[in-house]
Amino acid sequence: MSRESWERLRQAVADEMQAMQAAVDAYDEAAASVLGVNRTDLRCIELLNQHEALTPSRLGSELGLTTGSVTAMLDRLERMGYLTRSPDPTDRRKVLVHITDTARERSWQLYGPFVTEGEALMKDYSSEDLELLAGFLRRSRELYERQLARALEMRP
């Protein structure tokens, strides 16, 4: 492949990645609006969908929030019926946060089609293609994580 052809393909990949990031961002903004929450609340709901239960401190760490901000967020989401808090059965000094069926169902209405259509989309690719794509996406995520750490160090 010529250098010019490679550069065109590299630019096409970069353009598609940027367009996908914009589409994901726009969709998440719309989903947050549908649920009546802000983007941080949406990310909290996503984390709770992925785990049986999380502690407020774990949520704060994952979301980059202070203790007070986590408490305000949890109070807000609990009032909306999206989560519950209960004592940790193994350590009653701790609290566990659980997603409610309401939040799980509403978020599935929004994000479930991605699972269904995504599985159908992936059937068009070979195992080797999927390995390549998974590796590229992993390395891209790792790049973002490194750059996030760098950006956070730049904060005043």
What pTM was computed for the model? 0.88
- How distant is the alpha carbon of residue 39 from its chain centre? 10
> pLDDT per residue over 15-66, tens digit each?
999 999 999 999 999 999 999 999 999 999 999 999 999 999 999 999 999 9
Measured between alpha carbons, how far is residue 68 from residues 57, 72, 140, 156 in Å?
A: 11, 6, 33, 20
- Domain spans, the chain: 3-124
For residue 40, the Cα-to-chain-centroid distance in whole angstroms is 10
Both tokens assigned to 118: 């995504």
How confident is the model over 79-93, as pLDDT tens digits?
Answer: 999 999 999 999 989
Class of domain 3-124: mainly alpha
Question: How far apart are alpha carbons 139 and 131 in whole angstroms?
Answer: 12
Is residue 2 within 8 A of residue 10, CB to CB? The reply is no
